[in-house]
Structure 1
Amino acid sequence: MSSDVRFTDFKSDKQPTWCPGCGDFGTMNGMMKALANTGNDPDNTFVVAGIGCSGKIGTYMHSYSLHGVHGRALPVGAGVKIANPDLEVMVAGGDGDGYSIGVGHFIHNVRRNVDMTYVVMDNRIYGLTKGQASPTSRADFETSTTPEGPQQSPVNPLALALAAGGTFIAQSFSSDAMRHAEIVQEAIEHDGFGFVNVFSPCVTFNDVDTYDYFRDNLVDVADTDHEPTDRDAAKQKILDSSREYQGVLYRDPAAKTYEESKGLDEPMTEIPDGAPEDAMDLVREFY
């Protein structure tokens, strides 16, 4: 790990194709700042993403990366981390990728507590496919395919994580740049599965859950008397449907990681003889 790395070192030379104003820009910048602040660098970082607007984030970040299939980013990330515990593994996804087709992997990776970070860009809509309701959309959210709204309660990802035995559960807002980076940094520093749901507004297809909405309604738990190691207090806030919270809702500093419980502390793989000394050169040549 490098002590003088800057967040700009994590920027690739690929230009993002997100819509101007998309919340994913702020989400990604916070991820890069958090990685740099924790002393990581591109040579020891692996970013995995699935499908959706968030899916190409590994292309836009300068690190080892894999653009996987819909809903399957977490098992790939877990496999990478278990195979090489020395890597800093960060998995990125969206509310559709993570809480619909990928929800089974989400729950089981939460309960296994592999030491990696999962950042979900939650815009409460399917943005890449032109604006359908997602698992976190409001029950009355009108779209072209749900003209009267989905007519079902939205998924509460924080509640799912808590029920599955999550050891670090947090929420942030992509536009609150410093706070967002700070929360992701805490997730990285946590020994175990660090989960951060990020409110990342879609400026093209969602005119309800906007930047102004979150600025007006977000309550930071750091400004309250909340104690994140108190599971009952975390449950009360997570199930409070009258508020939108950001900050670390729950943290269990005593929980064992999957690697610790299985005695996995050495890399399982070796670079074969004859491979380039700088494996990053090989990755760059491939792409």
Structure 2
Amino acid sequence: MTDLMGSISGVDLGITPGPSKTSGVPTTDVPQKGKDFTSDQEVRWCPGCGDYVILNTIRNFLPELGLKRENMVFVSGIGCSSRFPYYLETYGFHSIHGRAPTIATGLTLARDDLSVWVVTGDGDALSIGGNHLIHALRRNMNITILLFNNRIYGLTKGQYSPTSEVGKVTKSTPMGSLDTPFNPVSLALGAEATFVGRALDSDRAGLTAVLRGAAEHRGAAIVEILQDCPIFNDGSFDVLRKDGAEERVIRVTQGEPITFGADGEYCVVRSGFGLDVAKTADVAAEDIVVHDATIADPAYSFALSRLSDQNLEHTVMGIFRQVSRPTYNDQARAQVASARETIPNDTAALQSLLRGRDTWTV
């Protein structure tokens, strides 16, 4: 994984070091543990829900950041995943359907001393919240978005969602869904997100690695977390966990050739303007794609995301894109500071605006 100094295991990548996502957020000298981030609220999800393992993973990861808990905020929308703020001993905001990125945008702009996280689901983020999500990514707001994807509406009892596969039989589609599902990673890359990752709920090591990268990245970071809904969509990702999963899951690591399979018998190669899967024995070593999430043009990352289809035949896990771009936060603060320096501190300009020709009395 690329660290903040632009290296992989000591190898210089030529990436200019920059401020981390938490630059300006107060730190603590008191050692923290997962239990320090555990609230006194009873965790109430269905038995077997993937949210449990995600919550435990995040609780155990947060101490790594070394931040004061009172300077961390988790904002959620509506859905099963959106109960998250109740279960963390940080500040939290259980907001309204699809609007968590909007509220997080205002919060991170107003308070640069906060670490702001968004917890959302595939329905909350990609249906009613679609516009709010893509514009938070486009603006490169300094927030971390965790998108829990169980490919179903769980809280409202099992309707198909924007990520459900074609032909999905649910209460709202008894003859099968006709909608082509979103690929959340492709969508995020199309919105010019500067950090995009994907992980599986039950893969604690893989999820922690992606979370670590997202938490360090200054700018909009989004992590799609594939998770199980045992009540309304049980086993939807079992093919990525059980026998044969090694032939479906493609784990990417910065600076390393992309191979997978029990013995690395498959690999990723370039094919026209995109990427494809081939047998390692059939291609030259130099033809195997070496993963580089730091490429400025998102075309490579997008092509990588298209290897993942609705049937989960090949599903890429890891960090797809990690590039540096000025954040809206930093540019807005610089603009305000510039205005304060150059504009006289009087009310003449405001009065001129209020009494000008662009206002009228009704």
CA distance in 2, matches of 1:182, 1:13: 28
Q: Check if 1:228 corresponds to 2:254.
A: no
Selected match of 1:244 from 307, 315, 321: 315
Q: Check if 1:11 corresponds to 2:38.
A: yes
Selected match of 1:106 from 133, 138, 141: 133
* More contact order relative to length (CA 8 Å, sep ≥ 6): 1
CA distance in 1, matches of 2:58, 2:91: 15
Alignment of 1:66-145 (within 5 A): 66-145=93-172
Give the CA deviation at 1:264: 5.5
Partner of 2:225: 198
Selected match of 1:2 from 24, 28, 42: 28
CA distance in 1, matches of 2:315, 2:325: 27
Q: Over the residues paired in the alignment, what is the CA RMSD in angstroms?
A: 1.7
Give the CA deviation at 1:208: 4.6
CA distance in 1, matches of 2:58, 2:105: 18
Aligned length: 264
Q: Check if 1:161 corresponds to 2:188.
A: yes
Query: What whole-Å deviation, never above 9, does each CA across 1:28-64 have from its counterpart, x for those lacking one?
Result: 2222233221212321101101101011110011111
- Secondary structure (helix, strand or coil) at the match of 2:292 reads coil
Partner of 2:284: none
Q: Is the 8 A contact 2:195 2:222 kept in 1?
A: yes
Q: Is the 8 A contact 1:238 1:249 kept in 2?
A: yes
Provide closer, same or farther for how the CA distance between residues 256 and 151 of structure 1 changes in structure 2, counting only shifts above 3 A: same
Query: What whole-Å deviation, never above 9, does each CA across 1:103-133 have from its counterpart, x for those lacking one?
Result: 0000100011111100011100011111110
Q: Is the 8 A contact 1:48 1:77 kept in 2?
A: yes
Q: Is the 8 A contact 1:168 1:251 kept in 2?
A: yes
Work out the percentage of aligned pairs sharing the same amino acid: 36
CA distance in 1, matches of 2:137, 2:55: 22
Partner of 1:152: 179
Query: What whole-Å deviation, never above 9, does each CA across 1:116-157 have from its counterpart, x for those lacking one?
Result: 100011100011111110000001111122122211210111
- Secondary structure (helix, strand or coil) at the match of 1:132 reads coil
Gaps of 5+ in 1: 267-287
Query: What whole-Å deviation, never above 9, does each CA across 1:170-207 have from its counterpart, x for those lacking one?
Result: 01111101221221121010010110010011111113
Give the CA deviation at 1:265: 11
Q: Check if 1:187 corresponds to 2:214.
A: yes
Q: Is the 8 A contact 1:5 1:40 kept in 2?
A: no
Stretch deviating more after TM superposition (64-73 or 149-158):
149-158
Give the CA deviation at 1:19: 0.8
Partner of 2:352: none
Stretch deviating more after TM superposition (35-44 or 175-184):
35-44
CA distance in 2, matches of 1:76, 1:33: 26
Selected match of 1:34 from 44, 48, 61: 61
Tell me the amino acid that sits aligned with residue 2 of structure 1: T
- Secondary structure (helix, strand or coil) at the match of 1:56 reads helix
Give the CA deviation at 1:218: 2.5
Q: Check if 1:209 corresponds to 2:240.
A: no
Provide closer, same or farther for how the CA distance between residues 6 and 208 of structure 1 changes in structure 2, counting only shifts above 3 A: closer
Q: Check if 1:56 corresponds to 2:83.
A: yes
